[in-house]
Amino acid sequence: MRGLYRPIRRWSIAFSGLLLFICTLGWVLIDGDDAVVDFLEVALPATIGICLLIGGIWLERTHQESRISQLALWTGGGAITGVAVIIWFIFVISLEHNPAAEPGQLALNGAGIFMAAGILLGYYATGLQQRERELARSEARFRALTENSSLGVVTIDETSTIRYANDAVNELFGYEQSAIVGEPLTKLMPEELRESHQNGLAKYLSGGEQTFDWNGLEAHGLRADGEEFPIEISFGEYPIDGDHLFTGIIQDVSDRKVAEQQLRNHTSKVTQLHELATEITRADSTTAIRQHAADGAVKLFDADVAHLAVVEGDQLVPVTSSNPGSVDGYDPVPTSFGYAGESYQSNTVVRVDDLGETRGVTASPIRDGGVHPEPQVSNDPRALLSIPLGEYGVLQVFSFEANAFAERDEEVAEMLSTHVVTALERLSAEATIRRERDRLEEFAGILSHDLRNPLNVARGRLEFIDSTDNSEHFDAIERALDRMERLIKDMLTLARQGEAVGETETISLNTLAKQAWRNVDTDTATLKVETDLRLNADRSRLLQMFENLYRNAIDHGGEAVTIRVGSLEIGDGFFIEDTGPGISTSDREDVFESGYTTNQDGTGFGLAIVSRIMEAHGWSIEVTDGTDGGARFEIRT
């Protein structure tokens, strides 16, 4: 039965019409009069029945089941009413007269007429109800949508009076709930926009011409406290119940405007950076690169001052400033100290919006810059960009205003750092190339001069052998050729190794000093090693250094010389001294030059190689007087 319920409801009007039509046919069949006459007597209800049948089919296809059920009630009520009226009419007439027609005929006509009237009235009434419900649902959906929206929604009429505003509008403009409903829309506008709005609305209502685009209009709103702010509003119009209404969707675009301005600033800074990078690249000295970086950073970030500190050992030493002489008040600081140390150690840009907050925390170990005089309140930096420059140092940019640097400035700072580091690396590479070129020129001079001398000696001796047949010249020739071999060996050492250091390891100085002694022809010389020092060094290069110093001591001090190796009493390092004649004060600056020697059989490269090995390790070497008057070489690591 439940399965038949819904079809019966949907087809109820059609069933009513069919039933009425069947009843009229039944009347024609059972009445004893002429069939044509009988049919004409009930033609009206028969026609109404056919109309209801056709209308019921149409309703089933086009209308909802609930409305069809309501119409069926109206139709059934009409039929009952019609029959009741006919019964009442027959009863009243029969009191005085006989009815002009039979009761069945009257009942069918009355039922048909009232059924037709009932369905027509019902269709109109249910239509009104449906429209009211749809309107109520539409309004409910509209309010649910607008009240929960983060965008402001406002509706005005033809007089620009606010008819509706959601909570977002009140919150956006700073008014209390429903405080602006009934007020003119111009209340939410700056004064300079009010007249143009009113004129534009009047022109549109009179002629239908829009004076501006209603979609995505950018303007300024006026808050309750008088503050103006940028908004974007889109309007739409619709008529309802004879009113001409306009609904606008309002969005606060303050954040978007700030972002757009930041993007414009960022683009401008990238363009300025390109020009600054050109200046830095063209600089021909380290000092010029540093100065361009400091001066350019101030202009690039619209700052007040910039300082550049370089790495020397384990300290950051201020060397350049955008303000001439302003680094004089700053002392070197450890590379692990303050914001400068933080950016250097992490190799990342550090941005501080308000240095005043960190200064207020007395226990904080972090400070910007280095040690400086007591700051004046009016000239105290408030904002900082600390930019690492790789292994070269740190560039710090200061502003006297808090929050002076944007987040995207960090990206520009990173690009600036890359340009500065690249320029410094280029100069370093060029300096290395120049040193290599000078070394090659130095080798060429040696090859053209020093190697020619032993060759001339050997050639002369050979000529003597040919003329005199005297074999005593062989020893001289052998010495000359030995010297040539040493020259070639030492020059190859300088040319192939230069200042490079290979893999380092922890080395016992005591063990390595004795190993080097075994590698040298020491004759009757004596070695004393008095140290337990351990070093991190390239073993093969350090071994070569000891061998060269041993040979130098034996060549100048004789076969009976005593050589002593020990640790320095002051500072980190060690010494090698001998009991030979020593090195005069006037010669101490020249002994490490390539080709310098006071021994006619020497190559002049031994101590030069020692100096290069020290430089490659980052050490220093100095010549002083030994304990027993000989030469003393002090190496500080």
Winning range, highest mean pLDDT, from 84-93, 385-394, 485-494, 551-560: 385-394
Q: Which residue has the higher pLDDT, 436 or 622?
A: 622
**Last residue of one domain, picked from the residues 194, 218, 252:** 252
365 phi/psi in degrees, rounded to 5 = -85, -5
Q: Which residue has the higher pLDDT, 349 or 9?
A: 349
270 and 247 fall within a common domain: no
Q: What is the pLDDT of residue 241?
A: 65
Task: With H, G, I as helix, E, B as strand and everything else as coil, classify residue 214.
Answer: coil
198 and 306 fall within a common domain: no
Task: Tell me: pLDDT of 447 over 50.
Answer: yes
Q: Is residue 458 part of a domain?
A: no
177 and 285 fall within a common domain: no
265 and 398 fall within a common domain: yes
For residue 578 the two structure tokens come to 């001998």
Beta-sheet pairing, 526-530 with 562-567: parallel
Instruction: Report which residue type is found at 572.
Output: D
Q: Which residues of 160-173 are buried (b: 16+ CB within 10 A; e: fewer)?
A: bebebbbbbbbebb
Count helices and strands (H / E) in the chain. Answer: 18, 18
Task: Tell me: pLDDT of 101 over 60.
Answer: no
- Indicate the pLDDT class of residue 628, thresholds 50, 70 and 90: confident
pLDDT (tens digit per residue) in 117-142: 888 888 888 887 777 777 677 666 66
Q: Is residue 519 part of a domain?
A: yes
322 and 421 fall within a common domain: yes
**Last residue of one domain, picked from the residues 143, 158, 185:** 143
Q: Is residue 473 part of a domain?
A: no
Task: Tell me: pLDDT of 452 over 70.
Answer: no
Gap between the Cα atoms of 528 and 514, Å rounded: 9
How wide is the angle at C-alpha 367 spanned by C-alphas 363 and 369, nearest 5°?
165
345 and 204 fall within a common domain: no
Q: What is the pLDDT of residue 373?
A: 39
Gap between the Cα atoms of 509 and 530, Å rounded: 10
Task: With H, G, I as helix, E, B as strand and everything else as coil, classify residue 574.
Answer: strand
Q: Which of 105, 94, 122 is nearest to 33 (CA)?
A: 105
For residue 598 the two structure tokens come to 């006071």
Cα pseudo-dihedral 593, 595, 596, 598, rounded to 10: 160
154 and 286 fall within a common domain: no
Residue with tokens 């050589």: 563
Q: How far is CA 582 from the centre of its chain?
A: 65
Answering whether pTM is above 0.95, one says no
Q: What is the pLDDT of residue 352?
A: 92
Number of folded domains in the chain? Answer: 4
Gap between the Cα atoms of 188 and 166, Å rounded: 14
**Last residue of one domain, picked from the residues 220, 252, 284:** 252
425 and 281 fall within a common domain: yes
Q: Which of 362, 297, 303, 367 is nearest to 331 (CA)?
A: 367
Domain extent at residue 425:
261-429
Residue with tokens 């819904």: 6
Task: With H, G, I as helix, E, B as strand and everything else as coil, classify residue 337.
Answer: coil
Q: Is residue 452 part of a domain?
A: no
The domain spanning residue 600 has which CATH number?
3.30.565.10
Q: What is the pLDDT of residue 367?
A: 42
Q: What is the pLDDT of residue 214?
A: 75
